[in-house]
Structure 1
Amino acid sequence: MRIALLTEGASSYAQRADSWCGRLIEGLPEHEFRLYLLGGGGGPAEGPVPVAELPLWGRRPKGRGPALHRRRSYQQAYRSLIRSLVIPGERESFGPALHRLAALGREDGALPAFLASGPAQRVLEQVWRSPGAETAAGQPQVRDVLVAADLLEQCLRPLSAPWYGTGPGGLGSADLCHVVGGGPAALPALVAKQLHGVPFVITEHGLHLREQYRSYRTAPYRWPVRALLIGFFRLLTEETYRQAAVLTPGSGYDRHWQERCGADPARIRVVHEGTPAVARAAAGPEPEGPVLVWAGALEPGRDPALMLHAFARIRAELPAARLRLYGEEGAPGFLAHCREIAERLGVDAVVSFEGRPEGGPAEVWAAGSLVVFSALAQRSPRLLADAMLSGRAVVATEVGVAREVVGPTGLLVPPRDPAALATACLALLGDEERRARLGLAGRLRAQERFAVEPVVTAFREIYLELVSRWPAFPAVAKAAARPFARPAEYWVAGPVTAEPVAEAV
C-alpha cells in the first residue's frame, strides 16, 4: 500500500537508517513510502524513498495576497479561527476554520501572503481585544499582535502545501497517512482526510503538546503571545486526536496524557520506540571499587543536586565510593551550582563532572558499577532503556515512565528523597550477586520491549487492520463509499505487469 509519512525535521536525518522513520521504511519494504517533511528547507537529500519538503520556519514563501473580492472570505475564516482560540464558547469552530482556510489557499495559493498581511493582523487584533476574549495572561499590545501573527503564519503554513492532489506525489493518492510527532505535521493529514477521506495514524514519542507547554515557559515572548500559541497547539492536538484512526504513543505514560487531551482509549495502542542498541553487547567487567554513574542534562529537572546529597550519605557509609556525572550544562550557571554543592558537602574530591561522552552512552554505563537517575520528571524511556541494555543495575526516581520501563528489574525511590536514594544505592553496591541479577534482568526486559522488530510488526498489523476496515474508495462529495471495490493486486507495492504468454506454434 502507499503510505505518506508526515513529520518535522531535516531530510538528511529522516532518511537515515538509524532514524525512527528510516527504520520503519527499511522494515516494511512491501509498502511504498513517501516522506513529507516540514523543515528548514535546503532541498531534499537523496534517499531510499521520494521526499517532498516544505520550509516551516523562517521567511514565508513568495507569493501575492488574495484579490480584493476574495479577501473578505479569508478574513471571515481567519476571524473564526482566532475566535476559537480566545473565546471559550467557540472552540468547536477550530476544525471548520482550518479547513476553510485550507480550501481558500488551494484555490488561489494566497494563504501565506494573507496571513502575513495587514488585514490579517487587524483581524487578530480586533478579536483578541474584543469583549469576552480570554486575557488572563494580560492584555495584548501591538507588538504582541505582530509577533503572534507571524508565529501563526508559520504554524499554518502546511495548509498551503502543494500536496493535496490525487496525482503522483499527492496525499490524495495515498492509502493512509502516518504522522510522526504531531503538531503542524498533522495539518496535511487532517486536510487529506477531509478532502479525500484518507485515514491517518499518529505516532508520538514525547507528546508534542507537552513539549510546547515546557518550551513556551521560557520562550522570548510576552505571556499573551504564549497563551495564544499554547491555545492553538491545544486545539490542534484535540482535533488531531479526534480525527486520527489510530494513536500509537511510545509509552503508557504518554497514553494517559493523550486520554486527558480527549483521545478515545479504544483507538490508542502503545508501541514502544525501538532502538538498534538492543544488538549492542553488554558492558564489560565493572570498574575497580564502587563507582556510581549519573547521566542527563545538568538542569533542575534532572535534579543532579539530589544525586549529590544522596552520594554524601553513601560516602559516609562507603568511603571508597566515587561518583561520575555525565551530561552537558542544560541551564546557565548550573554546572557551577553543582560544583558548589559538591564542595559544600565535602565530596568534591571524589565527584567528577565528565561532560558529554565522546563514545556515546555505552561509554557512560561501562564506567560505573551502578547507574542512577534522579530526575523530577522522566518523560522519555530512551535513556533508561539504553542504561538497562548495558546490563548494569539501575536505580531511578519513580516519576514519569520509570516504573513502566524499569519494572521489577531495578530499584525505584521517591523523588526529592536523598535518604531513600542513598539507601537503594548502598543496598546494591553491597550485594554484587543481586546487582548482577538485576542488571541481566533489566537487559532482557529492555531487549524484549525496545527491539526494532516488534515495532515494525506492530505497524504492519496496524496498517493492514486500518485498511481492512476503511472504505476502499472513501466517501467524498458526490461519491459513495464502496468497500472491497479494489482488487487485491491494488495493495501490492509497485506496478503489476502481466506475464508474457507464449504463442502457439
Structure 2
Amino acid sequence: KRIAAIARERRISIVHTHNSRAHSFGVLLKLLHGLPVVATAHQRHIQLHWSLNDYVIANSDVTLWSMRRFNFVSKSRIRRIYCPIRDRFFNGAPPAEVSATRTAWGFAPTDRVLGCVGNVSPRKSQLNLIRALPSVLREFPNVRLVMVGDDHGEYAKTCRQAVEELQLQGAVRWLGHQDDIPLVMSCLDVCVCTPTEEAFGLTAAEALASGVPVVAALVGGLREVVIDEETGLLVPPRDPRALSTAITRLLNDGALRERLAREGRQRVRRLFSAADHAAQLLDVYQTVVSGKRQASQGR
C-alpha cells in the first residue's frame, strides 16, 4: 500500500521490474492497485507471474521463445530488447593503465592473458575452462588465466582444488569481484565464456565491444551475441577439448583474432547501443500507458 501511495503521489505511470522478487511485487501492485507493470526477463525460469504483467521484455530471442512457450506470455505483450553495452567498453582503457594493471596481476609483458568474467558457479562452468587449460599451456606456456567474479561457495572450492590438482597455480589468478570491468576487458587477449546456460551473454558482448576476441559455449543467447567464425568461436558446452582447441587456434592466428574482434565490435555497436535500448524501452512504456488509457475510456 505504501509503494502504491507513493506512485500515486508522484504520478508514476508505470512500474518496471528486473528480478524475481521485484517481478512478484510488481504483479501484486498491478492486481491490487492497478499500476501498469513491465517486467524484463533476464533468465528463462518457469514462473507463474510472467503472464500477469502488462508487458514483458525479453533480453534475447531465445528468452522470448521461452517466455511464450513455457510461461504463456502472449505474442502481443512481449518484445525482445537486447541489453545495452556502456560506451566505456567501446572506448577502452589507456595502454599505460592496461600495462600497469597486468603488472599488478603479476604478469610479464609477453604473457597471453585469458579472462573468464562471471561469478564462479556451476552454471558458468569455470571448471570446464580449468580442465581445458593444460592443453593450452602445452602449446603456449606463457598463457595466464584470470578468474573475475565472486568466488565463494562449494563450487569455487572445487574449482580451486582442480587448479591445484592440475598444478596450474602459476597460471591462474583469482581476482574476485572487480568494479572496473571495462578495464579488465582491456587487459585481456581472449575472453572465454563457458556457461551451460545463458539467457543473453552480457560478458561476451562487453568483451567484443572492447575489441577482445571471444570463445564461447554454444548455448542460449550467446548464439545471438557471438556468430561462429564471424564475431567469435563457439564450442559445445562441457567439452574441454573443443574449448582448448578453439583457444589455441585464436592464439596461433593473429589475423583471425583481429577479424573476429573487429566484426564483433561492429555487431555489438549496431545491435546493443544504449540509445537504441532507451528508444525501444520508451516505445514499450508508451504502448502500455496508451493501452491502459484506451481501456479506461472504454469502460
Residue 328 of structure 1: how far off its partner (Å): 2.0
Q: Quick check: 1:278–1:446 contact (8 Å CA) kept in 2? A: no
Q: Which of 23, 27, 30 lines up with 1:186 in the alignment?
A: 27
| AA partner of residue 25 (structure 2) | P
Unpaired segments ≥5 residues, structure 2: 99-108
Tell me, in whole angstroms, the C-alpha distance in 1 between the residues paired with 2:221 and 2:211.
19
1:252 aligned onto 2:89: no
- State the match for 1:378 in structure 2: 198
How far is the alpha carbon of 1:419 from its aligned partner? Answer: 0.6
Q: How far is the alpha carbon of 1:383 from its aligned partner?
A: 2.2
2:159 matched to which residue of 1?
A: 338
Work out whether 1:347 is the aligned partner of 2:168: yes
- Map 1:104-253 onto structure 2 (within 5 A): 161-162=4-5, 169=9, 176-181=13-18, 182-193=23-34, 200-207=36-43, 210=45, 234-238=47-51, 240-241=52-53, 244=54, 246-253=55-62
Q: CA deviation at 1:297?
A: 1.6
- Normalising by structure 2, we get a TM-score of 0.81
Quick one: distance in 2 between partners of 1:455 and 1:252?
A: 15
State the Cα distance separating 1:427 from its structure 2 match: 0.9
Aligned mates of 1:448, 1:370 — CA distance in 2: 22
**Residues 343, 466 of structure 1: alpha-carbon distance in 2 compared, 3 angstrom cutoff:** closer
- 1:188 positional shift: 1.4
Where 1:349 maps in the other structure, the secondary structure is coil
- Cα pair distance change 1:284/1:428, threshold 3 Å: farther
The partner residue of 1:281 within 75, 80, 91 is 91
Q: Which has the higher contact order (CA 8 A, sep 6+)?
A: 2
Of 444, 448, 453, 2:275 maps to 453
Deviations 1:72-105 (A, max 9, x none): xxxxxxxxxxxxxxxxxxxxxxxxxxxxxxxxxx
Q: Equivalent of 1:307, from 111, 122, 129?
A: 129
* Letter matched to residue 27 of structure 2: A
Distance in 1 of aligned mates of 2:2 and 2:244: 50
Cα distance, 1:187 vs structure 2: 1.6
3-state SS, counterpart of residue 202 of structure 1: strand
Per-residue CA shift, 1:348-389, capped at 9, x if unaligned?
Answer: 2222222223x5112322222111111222234332222222
Output the amino acid matched with 2:91.
Answer: A
CA–CA distance in 2 between the matches of 1:53 and 1:312? Answer: 57
> Equivalent pairs: percent with the same residue?
25
TM-score by length of 1: 0.50
For 2:73, give the aligned amino acid. Answer: A
Q: 1:435: how far off? A: 0.5
Larger Rg: 1
1:392: which partner in 2?
212
The count of aligned residue pairs is: 280
CA contact (8 A) 2:14 2:289 kept: no
Structure-2 change in CA distance of 1:279 and 1:395 (3 Å)? closer
Instruction: Show CA shifts across 1:419-464 (max 9, x none).
Output: 1001111111011121122112222222222222112211333344
TM-fit CA distance, 1:257:
2.2
Task: Quote the residue 2:103 is aligned against.
Answer: none
